[in-house]
Amino acid sequence: MTDLVADYRVETPTAAANKVTPSIDDYKNVLLQLETSLQQSIQGIFQDRLVRYRFLAQRPSLRSFDQVLSNKKQQLENVELRLFSSFRNIFQTYSREFSITSGRLDSLSPLKVLARGFSLTYKDDLLVKNSSQLKQGDKVEIRFASGKAKAEIKETDHD
């Protein structure tokens, strides 16, 4: 290779400089190629960004934030109405059950029994449930729906 360089001859130093350095046209061609490549790269990046922008612009959250917010507010109001309605229904159900249970309990109340004309008899502060608990001469207390009375046993029948 060195032999070829050594054998290469040119007539003048200008010709030698021309042979060693590329011409301006060569530089212009390289610059034109770089410019074209740069334009294509920029255009490709721009197109890619434009496609991404359009994709994001189509997203519901970016398209109309007010509409999304309004939809979420409406959904929240619907949940609130359903919750209130459920609470009201549950409250009414438990209220009815409470009234029924309360009525049953009230009907079993000893005070209600007394109000129907029955009485409770006590001997020594113990409720007398059977005549065999009593004998002649025992002192008893009789409680009515309203008031009480003291009595003495005259006779018992254990039938």
pLDDT digits (tens, 9 = 90+) for 94-145: 999 999 988 888 888 777 777 788 888 999 999 999 989 999 999 999 998 8
Mark whether 128 and 144 lie in a shared domain. Answer: yes
Mark whether 71 and 103 lie in a shared domain. Answer: yes
User: What range does the domain containing 137 cover?
Assistant: 117-152
- pTM value is 0.37
Mark whether 12 and 47 lie in a shared domain. Answer: yes
Q: How many CA atoms lie within 13 A of 155 on its CB side?
A: 2
| Cβ contact 156:136 at 8 Å | yes
30: its two tokens: 């390289």
Q: Residue 121's closest CA among 109, 139, 100, 146?
A: 139
Residue 70's DSSP bridge partners are none
For 42-63, the pLDDT digits (tens) are 999 999 999 998 888 777 666 6
Return d(Cα 140, Cα 134) in angstroms, integer: 9
How many separate domains does the chain show? 3
